[in-house]
Structure 1
Amino acid sequence: MPEPLRLLQVGAGGMGRAWLRTIAANPDVVLVGLVDLDVGTARAAADEHGYSGLPVAASMDELGVEFDAVVDVTVPVAHPKVSVEALLRGVPVLCEKPLAETVRECLQMAAASEASGQLLMVSQSRRYFRAVNAFQRQIAELGPIGTLSCEFYKAPHFSGFRERMAEPLLVDMAIHQFDLSRKLIGSEPVSVYCDSYNPPWSWFDGNAAASAIFTYANGTRFTFAGSWCAPGLETSWNGFWRAGTPSGTATWDGDNAPVAEPDVPAPLGDEPEEIAGSLAEFVHAVRTSATPQSEVHSNVVSLAMVEAAVRSANTGVPVRITDIVAEAHTEALSTTQNPDLLAALKSWPNPLAAVGLA
């Protein structure tokens, strides 16, 4: 048996505590340190989760321990700084979603992965539901998807920053569904037309509802319709999914086993789920050099889907995903100051090919 992978976790907030529990439950890893700007928060989180002797600090430099990899569970705005710092220290990184707030920053993070030769993987936890894998197997039995749809209707009262965002549903939530559509369809998005709005009874300042239709390279259409101010008969947090194929239809309610007509058995496996699944795939990738499904270059496309949907909603016209990536690459070239990252960005003959869109 190989030695456990020594992990340093950065971020000890609400999601950070979920990661502390997940790391503790995985025998293939061992936590050797916890970093948070609020050292008191880090100490309390460590103590509450059975890590009473764990070193804690406000930065990686102050910690003074050796580690094999970093789990970045900071707030999204801090992901580029924390993940790039770890990569340039020569260690692989598992970063919480979203990878960053902009596609430009995502490309800079991909460049850091290349410059350092280290893996940067994003934890897209919705990809790691057993029912999702069963749903994917059902669809494969039925044939190619013509139309994939997801309905998402919830009524959360978050308070705080989400209720003041301009596009809370699209920016803070929809990346889960957009990214999962890529996994299920097995192709890449080409363009999107999106309309976002705010119902009159909404308690959000920005647009808490949206409808979007994506066209994929293989001709599949993915439609998303959702709202964060939809009380009554709410869907799962994963949404309600429907896949139409030449041989029949498969649906997943977001919580239970998927069903299909005609009946296609879809037994659930026993693989680890959600962030535990992310961690298991990350450890496997680090040990074997395999490419995980949410490796940084590929995951850029999921965030580009979000940016394209927001732009379409703002302009009222369809937006091509490739335009978002190409413009972000130009911005990255003009704003990147680290010479190694800039060299990596300049080395791409085609930025679209670098993220799998060419």
Structure 2
Amino acid sequence: MSEPLRLVQVGAGGMGRTWLRALAANPDVRLVGLVDLDVDAARRAADEEGWPGVEVATMVEGLGSRPEAEALVNVTVPVAHHAVSTAALLGGLPVLSEKPLAESVAEGLSMVAVSEVAGRLLMVSQSRRYWRHLSAYRRQIAGLGRVGTVSCEFFKAPHFGGFREEMAYPLLVDMAIHQFDLARDLIGTEPVSVFCDSFNPSWSWFGGDAAANAVFEFEGGARFSFTGSWCSPGLETSWNGRWRVSADGGTALWDGDGEPVAEDADGSSLPVVVEDEPEQIAGSLAEFVAVLREGGVPSGEVHANVLSLAMVEAATRSAEAGRRVTIAEVLDAAYATAVEVEQNEAVRTQLLSWPSVHAVVGRR
């Protein structure tokens, strides 16, 4: 039996505490250090969330370069994702990062190149891919043939306060990446383009657009439609949204929480097989450990995950411009920016070595 994977975690805020509890519940990992700008907060979080006495520091270099560390979990704020993950990867540590991969597609492409230069895994924890009922839903969809249309309705009314209520596109940027990423997963091909209409209802307590309608075209012709609002009180959906998948062999529905239902073209119900498996961040953590121990390419690997970020950027561009935006134009612009601003010569050389950005990112 393998020894527990020795991890350093960066970030000890609210989400950091959630990850500390997940680490404590997984016998296959052991925390050997916790990093946060507020060392006192890190000390309290470690002591209160299952890791009393673990060493804390204010800099990644203070713990990440220690020989006992085998990997790093990045639970910092999004603006710090690029810097922290880059430092860890170039320091020899594979990284499991909270979503989003980065603040922009350009930064995301830089991180793809960094992972290639370092030869280390960078995996994004798209935690909403890990649900037992979602896994059952995937199995049903697999039995229905070619997917033609996928729709997701998302209606919640959270009062966060703070930065989310000041963002220009809070729903699209902070939340919809989960649904966009899941659409890629369920359809099984990559996005081609999007038309997005974003707006803010008159009663909204958000400063920016808290509602949106987006239609994505995918390779092979499938369409994904997203309709959502973060200021829709009453009869709210699941945080996962409410899903409908229509294929040539039937239709499958999932309310985002309970067991999915599906019928084939003859009206016969498809079985629901729900297996015992870790969910949410426990699921992404388990997959990260398994891949490091056994090999393979995980869900959320950086080369593929950057396209989920590109879907968000394309949607906000479409909302601003009032036109259809292609994923290709987003990637091309981001690649040009990534090459222009990259300060690490080895990473810049790696970016320039790509035959094209389109040949490198996406499903592998």
Alignment correspondent of 1:124: 126
Task: Supply the distance in 2 between the matched residues of 1:288 and 1:326 (Cα, whole angstroms).
Answer: 35
Would you say the 8 A contact 1:241–1:252 is kept in 2? Answer: yes
Q: Is 1:191 aligned to 2:193, yes or no?
A: yes
Alignment correspondent of 1:14: 14
Task: Supply the distance in 2 between the matched residues of 1:21 and 1:166 (Cα, whole angstroms).
Answer: 33
Superposition pairs for residues 305-320 of structure 1, below 5 Å?
Answer: 305-320=311-326
Task: Supply the distance in 1 between the matched residues of 2:243 and 2:15 (Cα, whole angstroms).
Answer: 26
Superposition pairs for residues 200-239 of structure 1, below 5 Å?
Answer: 200-239=202-241
Runs of 4+ in structure 1 deviating by more than 4 angstroms, as ranges, are none
The Cα shift of 1:288 comes to 2.3
Alignment correspondent of 1:297: 303
Alignment correspondent of 1:89: 91
Counterpart of 1:102 (choices 89, 104, 109) is 104
Paired residue type of 2:339: L
SS at match of 1:224: strand
Would you say the 8 A contact 1:153–1:235 is kept in 2? Answer: yes
Q: Is 1:271 aligned to 2:262, yes or no?
A: no
The Cα shift of 1:147 comes to 0.6
Q: Is 1:56 aligned to 2:56, yes or no?
A: yes
Would you say the 8 A contact 1:322–1:357 is kept in 2? Answer: no
Task: Supply the distance in 1 between the matched residues of 2:363 and 2:178 (Cα, whole angstroms).
Answer: 20
TM-score, normalised with respect to structure 2: 0.97
Moved more, 146-155 or 280-289: 280-289
Could you tell me which runs of 5 or more consecutive residues in structure 1 were left unpaired when the two chains were aligned.
none
Alignment correspondent of 1:32: 32
Alignment correspondent of 1:137: 139
Could you tell me which runs of 5 or more consecutive residues in structure 2 were left unpaired when the two chains were aligned.
none
Alignment correspondent of 1:45: 45
Per-residue CA distance 1:30-79 (angstroms, 9 max, x = gap): 11010000001100000101222100010122337430000000000000
Alignment correspondent of 1:350: 356
Q: Is 1:284 aligned to 2:290, yes or no?
A: yes
Paired residue type of 1:296: V
- Alignment: residue pair count: 358
Task: Supply the distance in 2 between the matched residues of 1:74 and 1:7 (Cα, whole angstroms).
Answer: 15
TM-score, normalised with respect to structure 1: 0.98
Task: Supply the distance in 2 between the matched residues of 1:60 and 1:316 (Cα, whole angstroms).
Answer: 42
Task: Supply the distance in 2 between the matched residues of 1:255 and 1:293 (Cα, whole angstroms).
Answer: 21
Q: Is 1:341 aligned to 2:352, yes or no?
A: no
Task: Supply the distance in 1 between the matched residues of 2:345 and 2:294 (Cα, whole angstroms).
Answer: 30
Task: Supply the distance in 2 between the matched residues of 1:172 and 1:101 (Cα, whole angstroms).
Answer: 10
The Cα shift of 1:247 comes to 2.5
Paired residue type of 1:187: T
Computed over aligned residues only, the root mean square deviation of the Cα atoms, in angstroms, reads: 1.1
Task: Supply the distance in 1 between the matched residues of 2:352 and 2:303 (Cα, whole angstroms).
Answer: 15
SS at match of 1:142: coil
